[in-house]
């Protein structure tokens, strides 16, 4: 059996995590984190093909999380980071410019569309 790509999904809504996992579990190996902090912890142990994060989260926003990822794990190849949700243009632009963000998608996402984006990032 072909090894599935590993995806880390970070969102502060448990329902979102569950739904994401359920939608993509057939295609990818899904790891989820309820916050940026938890995401960073997981990243310490596991390497991922693609990281997807929600923007608006208490404590650490998606962009802040991406910044942390960028500084702590510089070896992560570009085009592997995706941001979702609702964010201010300035924040997104900052992430694009500085933290290797490759795609921004707005919620609610659509399975086919998001899958295509993820596949695109991996290849």
Partner 1 sequence: MNSKNVQVEKHILTGETHCNNSMIKQQAIRAVLILLFSGTFNFNGFALNQSVIDSLRQQLVSLKSDTGRIKTYLELGDVYKYANRDSSLHYYRKALKLAGRLQSAKYIALGLKEIGRGFYSQSDYDSALYYFDKALKINKQTGAEKNIADILLDYGNVYIKRGIYDKALEYELSALKLYEKLEDKDGYSGCLNNIGNIYYYQGDYKKALEYYQKSLKIKIELGYKKGMAILLGNIGNLYNELGETDMSLKYNMKSVKIYEELGDQNGIARIYDNMGDTYVLKKDYPLALDYYKKALKLLERTGYKRGIIITLLSIGDVYNRTGQYKKALEYEFRALRISGETGELNSQKMAYEYISRSYKKLRDYKNALLYKEKWFRVHDSIFNVEKANAIADAEARFQSEKQEQQIKLQQADLEKSKAELARVEAVKKRQEIVRDLFIVISLLMLILVVTVSYFYRLKKRDNLLLLEQKKKIAAINEELETKNKELQATLDKLKQTQQQLVQSEKMASLGMLSAGIAHEINNPINFVYAGINSLFRDFEDIEPVIREISMIDPESDNLKEKLQKIERLKEENYFDEAFEAIPQIISDIKVGADRTAEIVKSLRSFSRMDTSKMQSLNVHEGLDTSLLLLKNKYKRNIEIIKNYAPGLPEINCYPGKINQVFLNILSNAIDAIEGEGKIWITTRREDDNVVVSVKDNGCGMSAETKRRIFDPFYTTKDVGHGTGLGMSIAYGIIREHNGKINITSEPGEGTEIVITIPINDEEKT
* 111 contributes a contact to partner 1 by CB under 8 A: yes
* 32 contributes a contact to partner 1 by CB under 8 A: no
* 39 contributes a contact to partner 1 by CB under 8 A: no
Of the candidates 68, 67, 61, 100, which has an alpha carbon nearest to the alpha carbon of residue 84? 61
* 25 contributes a contact to partner 1 by CB under 8 A: yes
The pattern of x and - marking residues 45 through 84 that bind partner 1 according to CB under 8 A reads -----------xxxx-x-----------------------
Minimal distance, residue 13 CB to partner 1, in Å? 5
* 2 contributes a contact to partner 1 by CB under 8 A: no
Output the CA–CA distances (angstroms, integers) from residue 16 to 96, 107, 113, in the order listed. Answer: 24, 11, 17
Cβ partners under 8 Å of residue 99, min gap 6? 63, 66, 67, 69, 70, 81
């Amino acid at each position: 059996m072909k090894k599935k790509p590993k995806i880390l999904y970070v969102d502060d809504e448990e329902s979102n995590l569950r739904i994401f996992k359920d939608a993509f579990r057939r295609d990818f190996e899904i790891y989820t984190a309820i916050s940026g902090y938890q995401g960073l912890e997981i990243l310490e142990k596991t390497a991922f093909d693609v990281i997807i994060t929600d923007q608006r989260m208490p404590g650490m926003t998606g962009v802040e999380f991406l910044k942390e990822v960028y500084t702590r794990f510089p070896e992560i190849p570009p085009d592997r980071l995706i941001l979702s949700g609702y964010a201010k243009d300035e924040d997104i632009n900052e992430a694009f410019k500085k933290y290797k963000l490759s795609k921004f998608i707005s919620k609610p996402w659509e399975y086919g569309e998001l899958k295509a984006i993820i596949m695109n990032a991996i290849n």
